[in-house]
Chains A and B, each alone.
Chain A
């Protein structure tokens, strides 16, 4: 679909100041246009975000895994954490579940700082990428272990789910297939009845069929919880994300590049196709995320800062993959540097104030 000019959602903040937490609050249905609303403002009705971070930083001895990340995920949403390898996805999820400790900034999950306390741990389910289980123990023993380690535990639901999937409860999980093991691990983490579920690359190692089954289980669990379960899952499979998620956190180069409701973000961005010329006029109004040229034609991915007037450009809707790749390109080490106040810097407006303090 292509339209000319003047596609600007109403209510856009002319300064282009969008906090990374920009997105629809919990009560909004995904895809509804809620541009300009800043979820850090307390004017949004409904519950506080299930997951929140401000200036979150994780420094290891040699490198910075996560730098000055601010984000918010509303309750009840399914949020994709996406980004190239090494972008900090695993680190972010580990900080949120309390397995790792932040070196700076704050993280809040259900209003509480991740910490070593049963009250916190029992609310948060975490599934590590390698789906760690005791390989010699059968699923049934894992279910019993969970019953001993959790005050709230629904072992029967895990058994029922695994039986429905024809996964043997009495065989050592090391002898199960990767897809079956993933289902066991997922059933265990769901048996905790968490209110926040953090899944680290849960489908990366699965074949397409197992992946579909796994995602179906996640979506069924989310539907069953009726909005009381917030899920963050990291992945780099955009097709899966489009199917399952309504929110996205895009990490690249250890920073949050994009965070918000997928529908809103897609509405905020356009691909402009036009003649190759100085893009400064466009940059005055909008934020150019990435630009490429082929022959005499230029293609710009822009975040709209107001109505689009220049008739020289043809505006097209942007797909999630295009959007994600555009931001990843812009954050890649070889990307052309853009002055502050343009390009990526708008995305970190909320965090740059943290830096300035």
Chain B
């Protein structure tokens, strides 16, 4: 069956390799140019943290447009692999009837599916891994400059997560094809299912992969950023340590101007609130009503909290997320295996 898989996918494999080579050419050439420009900039302008958008030391100027477009585009690579490789695996053969040829040879359907799926999942992982490695290489300076590698377009295109996505998308295509037996509906289900699961995990699961860290700071100085972090939320904590609910028509306090209800403030500070609400930008030398309110609350024991994921968790998160997708993929292969074995051809 290994030879058969190879024979059937020789041409698609060659096309995939050619596309991969073209992608590598773009990312490597622009990436190398960008890296050298970046190092030059670092040598003349110093710390990377000061390089966003200030004239001669604007780090953004070194980012190659084409390479950046490719990086953004690479977010769709796992889905493309799933659609082209996974969905037709069983469905196309069922549609054209060739399953009636292969399934009546001397091997079982299980073996047919598991060998074919195994090789194609491996191919999907290798392709996505290669693309991801190239993007990770290319993004070095951008990562250093922006420091928000948890955000979607960065996290989702680098490291090992894309490998998990591609294996999952392929397995989803295989399972959808095995159940629906037609390629086009299988492709539609693959696209919808992949997008749905990805969005769900990005929004609802990823922030909680590890318990978030909450740090409490004074109202005046604001939160200190501990390295590269993934900021999740911030809030105001009352004198007794309870978090205050933020309300839409509340009074903005603290560095971030978080709106808390007037009733939550002690009476002494409440008196300062109307002035703070109506205050425009503080005039030079004049007393600042917002600062006065903040200082009053700070004295009354109000604190600001910030909830975030520390930067060092980037790689653990990559690993956990890839692991989740690999588990989902394994479950989907089991579904496909069950469907192929149980249902009539």
Residues in chain A within 8 A of chain B (CB atoms):
94, 97-101, 116-118, 121-122, 124-126, 128, 130, 132-135, 137, 141, 144-146, 148-153, 185, 188, 192
Tell me if A124 and B104 are in contact (CB < 8 A).
yes
Contact A121–B106 (Cβ < 8 Å)? yes
Q: CB distance B345 to A122 under 8 Å?
A: no
Q: Mark B319-335, 1 if CB is under 8 A from A, else 0.
A: 00000000000000000
Q: Is the CB of B102 within 8 A of A149?
A: yes
**Given the complex, which residues of B lie within 8 Å of A98, measured CB to CB?**
104
Contacts of A145 in B (CB 8 A): 3-4, 7, 102, 105
Contacting pair A130 B97 (CB below 8 A) = yes
Is B107's CB within 8 Å of the partner chain A? Answer: yes
Q: Measured between C-beta atoms, what is the minimum distance from A297 to chain B in Å?
A: 49
Smallest CB–CB gap between A166 and chain B, Å? Answer: 23
In angstroms, Cα B345 to Cα A99, docked, is 5
Cα–Cα, bound, A100→B341 (Å): 10
- B1: interface (CB < 8 Å): yes
Q: Contact at B100–A100, with CB atoms within 8 Å?
A: no
Which 5 A-B residue pairings sit nearest by Cβ, starting from the closest? A132-B97, A149-B105, A150-B106, A100-B344, A122-B106
Query: Taking A99-B344, A135-B96 as contacts, is the C-beta distance between A144 and B3 under 8 angstroms?
Result: yes
Main secondary structure of the interface of A (DSSP, over half): loop
Q: Are B108 and A117 in contact (CB under 8 A)?
A: yes
Report whether B345 and A94 are in contact in the complex, using a CB–CB cutoff of 8 Å: yes
**Which residues does chain A contribute within 8 Å of B345, judged by CB atoms?**
94, 99-100
Question: A-contacting residues of B (Cβ < 8 Å)?
Answer: 1-4, 7-8, 96-110, 341-342, 344-345
Report Cα–Cα, A148/B110, bound state, in Å.
16
Q: For residue A94, which residues in chain B have a CB less than 8 angstroms away from its CB?
A: 344-345
Check A118 against B106 for contact (C-beta < 8 Å).
Answer: yes
Q: Is the CB of A151 within 8 A of B341?
A: no
**What are the residues of chain B within 8 A of A192 when measuring CB–CB?**
105-106
Expressed in whole angstroms, the Cα–Cα distance for A150 and B98 within the complex equals 16
- Chain B: interface secondary structure? helix
Q: Across the interface, do B344 and A132 meet the contact criterion of CB distance under 8 Å?
A: no
Contacts of A152 in B (CB 8 A): 106
User: Contact: B107 with A149, CB < 8 Å?
Assistant: yes
Name the CB-closest residue of B to A198. B104
Question: Contacts A128-B100, A130-B97 given: A101-B344 contact, CB under 8 Å?
Answer: yes
Given A97, A133, A141, A151, which contacts B104 in the complex, CB threshold below 8 Å? A97
B109 touching A116, Cβ below 8 Å = yes
Q: Residue A148 contacts which of B1, B99, B103, B108 (CB distance < 8 angstroms)?
A: B1
Contacts of B2 in A (CB 8 A): 148
Q: How far is the CA of A99 from the CA of B109 in the complex (A)?
A: 10
CB <8 Å contact, A137 and B101: no
Tell me the bound Cα distance from A117 to B7 in angstroms.
24
Do residues B108 and A116 form an inter-chain contact, with CB atoms below 8 A?
yes
CB distance from A2 to the nearest CB of B (A): 48
A134: chain B residues at CB < 8 Å are: 8, 96, 98, 101
Contacts of A144 in B (CB 8 A): 3, 7
Say how far B343's CB is from chain A's closest CB, in angstroms: 9
Name the distance in Å between B337's Cβ and chain A's nearest Cβ.
12
Contact pick for B3, options A126, A137, A148, A185, CB 8 Å = A148
- CA of A150 to CA of B101, assembled, Å: 12
Which residue of A126, A150, A151 contacts B100 across the interface (Cβ within 8 Å)? A126
Q: Are A125 and B104 in contact (CB under 8 A)?
A: yes
Q: Closest residue to A151 on the B side, CB-wise?
A: B106
Q: Are B101 and A141 in contact (CB under 8 A)?
A: no
Distance of A126 Cα from B344 Cα, bound (Å): 15
Nearest chain B residue, comparing its CB with the CB of A123: B106
**Beta-carbon contact of A126 and B7 below 8 Å:** no
Which residues of chain A are within 8 angstroms of B102 by Cβ–Cβ distance?
Answer: 145, 149
A128 touches B107 (CB 8 A): no
Given contacts A116-B341, A132-B98, contact A99 B104 (CB under 8 A): yes
Cβ B341 vs Cβ A149 within 8 A: no
- Of all chain A residues, the one with the shortest Cβ separation from B96 is A132
- Residue of A whose beta carbon sits closest to that of B102: A149
CB distance from A92 to the nearest CB of B (A): 13
Closest residue on chain A to residue B109 by CB atoms: A116
Q: Kindly state the separation between the CA atoms of A122 and B100 in the bound complex, as whole angstroms.
A: 14
A122 to B2, CA, bound (A): 19
Say whether B4 contacts A121, CB under 8 Å. no
A103 to chain B, nearest CB (A): 10
